[in-house]
Amino acid sequence: MKTSMHYASLSNVELLAKLIGVRESRLLYRGYLQPLFSASPEKGIPHEKCAVAKELIKRLLEEELLHGDALNSPSAVRDYLRLSMNQREHEVFVVIFLDARNRVITTEEMFRGTLTQTSVYPREVVKAALKHNAAAVILAHNHPSGIADPSRSDRVLTDTLKQALAMVEVNVLDHLIIAGAETLSLAEQGLM
């Protein structure tokens, strides 16, 4: 416990130095952490190091989700989805399947689309929920445009999926839209 408290008191540069060495940390750190997760050869940030750091954090968040209650750690859900979806150049639709205690069974990227849209088939979402014996789901998709505002079709899709899943007694807890660093919850916006 004392060791982790010690690390909490270190600066970003000091933490990076412990992880990758003093010289490398001085080359990579530019005053904030975001560039470490976005490769930029012109700024001296190698793609491989960014990808490795990002993958490690994604795995940590995934472990948190798999070993806890998704409703007790909504920030972990958001962080995991943002990290896995925010830099996609095309839309993807993801479903997090939950058991009766809101623990994550699995996360599945179900559909992939174009820059501006994804075709989502409610029948396939229902089949997957039944296959995983899910009691609830959290829906998510990204907006590569970087604007998190839900479109009319996003709201219609959410209602359609809620109705289809309700027929097999699966609750839709939320529909999250990931747009860059921003995450919008349709449930929190009162749109569900």
Angle at 86 between CA 25 and CA 46, to 5 degrees: 30
Task: Give the pLDDT confidence of 35-74 residue by residue, as tens digits.
Answer: 555 555 555 555 666 666 666 666 766 666 666 655 566 7
Task: Give the pLDDT confidence of 75-105 residue by residue, as tens digits.
Answer: 778 887 887 787 788 999 999 999 998 888 9
Do 61 and 83 meet the contact criterion of CB atoms below 8 Å apart? yes
Q: Domains, the chain, ranges and CATH? A: 2-54 (no CATH), 69-185 (3.40.140.10)
What value does the CA radius of gyration of the chain take, rounded to a whole number of Å?
Answer: 19
Residue 35 DSSP class = G
- Contact residues for 110 (Cβ-Cβ < 8 A; gap 6+): 93, 94, 95, 120, 124, 125, 128
pLDDT confidence of residue 66: 63
Q: Is the pLDDT of residue 161 over 90?
A: yes
- Contact residues for 120 (Cβ-Cβ < 8 A; gap 6+): 93, 110, 111, 141, 157, 161
Between 74 and 117, the more confident residue is 117
Q: Is the pLDDT of residue 147 over 60?
A: yes
Angle at 35 between CA 32 and CA 40, to 5 degrees: 145
Please tell me the distance from the alpha carbon of residue 184 to that of residue 178, in angstroms, as a whole number: 7
